[in-house]
Amino acid sequence: MSTVEQQLDDLEAQITSELPSDISVSSVKYEGPELVVYTRDPKKFAQQGDLIRQLASKLRKRITVRPDPSVLSRPEQAREEIMNVVPEDAGVTDLDFHADTGEVVIEAEKPGMVIGRHGSTLREITKTVGWTPEVVRTPPIESSTVSNVRSFLKQERDDRRDILEKVGRQIHREEMSDDEYVRITTLGCCREVGRASFILSTPETRILVDCGDKPGAEGEVPYLHAPEALGAGPQTIDAVVLTHAHLDHSALIPLLFKYGYDGPIYCTEPTRDLMGLLTLDYLDVAAKEGRSPPYESEQVREAIKHCIPLEYGDVTDIAPDVKLTFHNAGHILGSAVSHFHIGDGLYNVAFSGDIHYDDTRLFNGAVNDFPRVETLVLESTYGGRNDYQTDQADSERTLKEVIKETYEKDGKVVIPAFAVGRSQEIMLVLEEAMRSGDIPEMPVHLDGMIWEATAIHTTYPEYLRDDLRDRIFHEDENPFLAEQFNHIDAGEEERQEVADGEPCIILSTSGMVTGGPIMSWLGHLGPDPDSTLVFVGYQAQGTLGRRIQNGWDEIPTSEVGAMGGGDGRGTLSLNMGVETVDGFSGHADRAGLENFVKTMNPRPEKVLCVHGDERSTQDLSSALYHDYDMRTFAPKNLETFRFL
Ligand SMILES: [Zn+2]
């Protein structure tokens, strides 16, 4: 008998002895990080509201209770009874019964009303029908990503349970090593921006944190084949943790499955959906540009199947000696500062991922309050000594000025933007500016994946800034549903019409002008001196965006590609105005990064400054060392640090 089985037997005995004698336990299983307790008396369990919480704190495990399949009422009957319990205003759009696990997934427009105060309605459902309810939000704007991910996971349910059971056994295996150390190996994004990837290792466990590509630099990937990484075989990695969905952190996660990895990916639920959207688009863009991508859509599906979503604040066992907790990072939807607690009080490491320290229109500022942290791995995108951004209110004023001036010339404003994050921030600025009369009302066209990414934002309002979340809950105030927003969904013909038409604003991917429909807009409007190209986000070295920013105005048509109308010969004259309005970045600026560290509770002993060019990481590292008396480093790629 394996030790995990012994452990489960012991747990079953312990749980049985803790429960009142009229509640029976039929089996106990691990599913991923959770302990699932099957009972023949789910209704009695639900009647004693506090029982699960008490068990969870006693056993220090995340516990889910499910009915033994033998006691379930028929779905048709349960459906009727559930609809009687749930208030009509909740707007239930779908009920999906899974007899194998006794779960019923309830999709509703207002999930809060299905949950009830402190979960009271959920308990009422179980008390009435015995099934275990799970609630998901009906997207207020239809999202093909959300519905595809949900139906895919439904279809793969059996596979997924096998995966979760296997992961559960991995997590709860017996610790084999008496040695104690914690190491971090840098596989990318050191003294550069892009291809974020790290290995966090202990004698027992190896965790890969992020696995991104490098925009503008074809074929460059993290040093995945280093002996510390996949060099020892993909099966030696226990878990992958994804801080957020931007491609410079997520693009090569599916590649791991091509290499034979088949373990879990921990991320938030919106990160899972956004990763699906962005990696599929990454494949699409590569195909359109005639490049052969490193993996196929099959591997994206594998990655999604292996995601274990966690919410902010959930303390989760991900290995015998590692607990992971995500906290809001304020950067993009679902982005997470990832905190690792190693051993029983042995050591703590926090990876910032990308952060924004102050509140923005979209998100609350990054969390920097932890029970303990000895080492912080900190992004340094704007860590340079002069990397101070304009105050956002000033930036908004400048943007509105540029829009007004362009409008008066009868021109069009083209804004290259990341689909995820800055686009929605700019949408909120434009919606308010038009509503308050600061700028004239005009159509705002959303091209590329911006519309879809916006729909995903409205599916997970819990991850947005408090007041924005409240507005989305009230449908008539949802700013993303404002009528000036138009989804460019009819391709080149529609673009031509817009380009020939009235003054307007165009938000288009890609954010660094490295491909996608922005190329087409350059082709249409680049020669027009009355129009304006406005950069609102970071332009990495080597990207076309950076070169245009630096004054390049004769662009070889080979650069703009077929989408920009290029035939590979001659040049495109860029006559349109070019403006840069910073201050909308999803990244903390130098002051924000310093404030994040300065006000961090507790103050870390060591800081690794990563994810910034050479100058930024070194500047930030030496400033933190001088000002806050901590050990700081600006590592290169492929360095290993030993802590403890
Ligand atoms: Zn990012």
| One domain for residues 127 and 152 | no
User: Ligand 1 centre and the CA of 368: distance in Å?
Assistant: 18
Together in a domain, 483 and 361: no
Torsion of CA 416, 422, 425, 430, to 10 degrees: 0
159 Cα to the center of ligand 1, angstroms? 31
Picking from 40, 67, 94, the residue at the C-terminal end of a domain is 67
Distance 352 CA to ligand 1 centre (A): 11
pLDDT at 595: 97
Q: State yes or no: 611 annotated in a binding site.
A: yes
Residues contacting 383, CB < 8 A, separation 6+: 590, 593, 609, 612, 616, 617, 619, 620, 621
Say which residues have a Cβ less than 8 Å from residue 551's Cβ, sequence separation at least 6: none
Q: Is the pLDDT of residue 1 over 60?
A: no
**Which residues lie at CB < 5 A from ion ligand 1?**
246, 354
What does the angle CA 97 – CA 102 – CA 103 come to, to the nearest 5 degrees?
Answer: 55
pLDDT of residue 2: 60
Calculate how far, in angstroms, residue 282's C-alpha sits from the geometric centre of ligand 1.
Answer: 15
Angstrom distance (rounded) from CA 81 to CA 130:
11
**Stretch 599-619: mean pLDDT, rounded?**
96
589 a known binding residue? no
Alpha carbon of 145 to ligand 1 centroid (Å): 20
Residues 473 and 609 in one domain: no
Per-residue pLDDT at 293 exceeds 90:
no
359 and 379 co-located in one domain: yes
118 is in an annotated binding site: no
- Cα(187) to ligand 1 centroid in Å equals 17
Residues 131 and 182 in one domain: no
Same domain, 488 and 553: yes
399/539 same-domain check: yes
Q: Is residue 345 part of a domain?
A: yes
Query: Using CA atoms, how far apart are residues 96 and 46, in angstroms rounded to an integer?
Result: 20
Same structural domain, 524 and 603: no
Q: What is the pLDDT of residue 324?
A: 98
> End of a domain among 580, 605, 621?
580
Tens-digit pLDDT profile for residues 546-572: 999 999 988 888 777 766 666 667 788
CATH code for the domain of 485: 3.40.50.10890
Which residue matches tokens 């079953």?
Answer: 12
**Quick one: pLDDT band at residue 475, thresholds 50, 70, 90?**
low
Q: What angle do CA 213, 219, 222 make, to 5 degrees?
A: 45
Q: Is 339 annotated as a binding residue?
A: no
Q: How far is the CA of 245 from the centre of ligand 1 (A)?
A: 7
Same domain membership, residue 285 and residue 207: yes
Q: How far is the CA of 373 from the centre of ligand 1 (A)?
A: 23
The answer to whether 626 is a known ligand-binding residue is no
Same domain assignment for residues 245 and 111? no
Q: Would you state the pLDDT for residue 42?
A: 92
Distance 628 CA to ligand 1 centre (A): 26
What is the Å distance from ligand 1's center to 323 Cα? 24
CATH classification of the domain holding 261:
3.60.15.10
Measured in angstroms, how far is the CA atom of residue 248 from the centroid of ligand 1? 7
Determine what percent of the chain is predicted with pLDDT higher than 70.
Answer: 98
CATH of the domain at 90: 3.30.300.20
Q: Is the pLDDT of residue 150 over 70?
A: yes
Indicate whether 644 pLDDT > 60.
Answer: yes
The CA 246 to ligand 1 mean position distance, Å, reads 5
Q: Are strands 375-379 and 606-610 parallel, antiparallel or unpaired?
A: parallel
CA–centroid distance, 219 to ligand 1, in Å, is: 20
Cβ neighbours of residue 241 under 8 Å, at least 6 residues apart?
Answer: 207, 208, 209, 210, 265, 266, 267, 318, 324, 338, 351
Over residues 317-366, the pLDDT tens digits come to: 999 999 999 999 999 999 999 999 999 999 999 999 999 999 999 999 99
Mean pLDDT value across residues 594-617: 96
Task: Looking at the structure, tell me whether residues 333 and 482 fall in a common domain.
Answer: no
Instruction: Label the pairing between strands 62-67 and 265-267.
Output: unpaired
How many independent structural domains does the chain possess? 4
User: Is residue 545 predicted with pLDDT exceeding 70?
Assistant: yes
Is position 7 within any domain? yes
Residue 218 pLDDT level (bands cut at 50, 70, 90): low
What's the CA-to-centroid distance between 470 and ligand 1, angstroms?
25
CA of 247 to the centre of ligand 1 (A): 8
Nearest to 131 by CA among 164, 106, 94, 152: 106
Is 244 annotated to bind a ligand? Reply is yes
* Residue 276: C-alpha distances to residues 65, 237, 251, 270, 303 (Å): 30, 22, 10, 10, 8
Reported pTM = 0.92
Using the mean position of ligand 1's atoms as its centre, give its distance from the Cα of residue 60 in Å: 33
Report the C-alpha gap between 338 and 346 in whole angstroms.
17
- Ligand 1 center to residue 244 CA distance, Å? 7
Distance 528 CA to ligand 1 centre (A): 32
Residue 54, pLDDT > 70, answer yes
CA of 420 to the centre of ligand 1 (A): 9
Residue 72 domain flag: no
Inside any domain, residue 469: yes
In the reported structure, the alpha carbon of residue 22 is separated from the centroid of ligand 1 by a whole-number distance in angstroms of: 52
Cα of 239 from ligand 1 centre, angstroms: 21
Asked if residue 153 lies in contact with residue 305, where contact means CB atoms within 8 angstroms, the answer is yes
Determine the 3-state secondary structure of 209 from DSSP.
strand
Do 505 and 546 have their domain in common?
Answer: yes
**CATH code at 51?**
3.30.300.230
Of 565, 580, 595, the one marking the end of a domain is 580
306 carries a ligand binding annotation: no
Range of the domain at 117: 77-138
